[in-house]
Amino acid sequence: MSSIPDAEALYTKLLAGVKPLMRPETKLVGITSGGAWLVERLQKDLGLPGAPGVISSAMHRDDFSRRGLSASAQTSLPFDVNGADVLLLDDVLYTGRTIRAVLNELFDFGRPASVRLAVLVDRGGRELPVAADFAAEKLTLPNSQLLALARAADGAFSLKVEESK
């Protein structure tokens, strides 16, 4: 599908867009799984020490009874959340429900001073009042399609579109 943007080019835009959002005390936290892949690479490319945080939405999803516990990574926040400046990263912002669940998970660990959001793609279709502070790309897809980030064995990113189930 030619209308799907190049994920590596979008990553370059994301890296440039995240730089002005960074403060000396900012902690990067990626949402599993696509956001976790992005934050792993951003932490390295920004030259930040230590490991980034990874957060799962699984335990706070409003569709938990239907989806169950995913096999993706569980939450790991290698810093004190209380008073932290947190920059959440995700691959695709769609309805806002994952962000709501992640915020609930984050607050289980403490009370951050601030939480901002950067995404690779904002595809619209919001069901909750959630907005990204930075989006590398805005894209419209039919509700019948899902957009997801994929990572190759060599670490290269690509975007894939699937029909929703």
CATH of domain 7-163: 3.40.50.2020
What would the mean pLDDT of 54-72 be, rounded to a whole number? 68
Provide the pLDDT for residue 67.
47
Q: Give yes or no for residue 70 having a pLDDT over 60.
A: no
Query: Whole-prediction pTM value?
Result: 0.92
Q: Write the pLDDT tens digit of every residue in 73-113.
A: 689 999 999 999 999 999 999 999 999 999 999 999 999 99
Question: Which of 91, 158, 162 lies closest to 122, judged by CA?
Answer: 91
Residue 57's φ and ψ, nearest 5 degrees, are -95, -5
User: What pLDDT band is residue 60 in, cutting at 50, 70 and 90?
Assistant: confident
Contact 164, 144 (CB under 8 A): yes
Tokens (6 digits) for 164: 């929703």
Tokens (6 digits) for 23: 């403060």
- How do strand 157-163 and strand 145-151 relate by DSSP bridges? antiparallel
Provide the pLDDT for residue 1.
42
Q: Give yes or no for residue 65 having a pLDDT over 70.
A: no
Q: Where are the domains of the chain?
A: 7-163
Q: What is the mean pLDDT of the chain?
A: 92
User: What pLDDT band is residue 71 in, cutting at 50, 70 and 90?
Assistant: low
Residue with token string 């915020």: 103
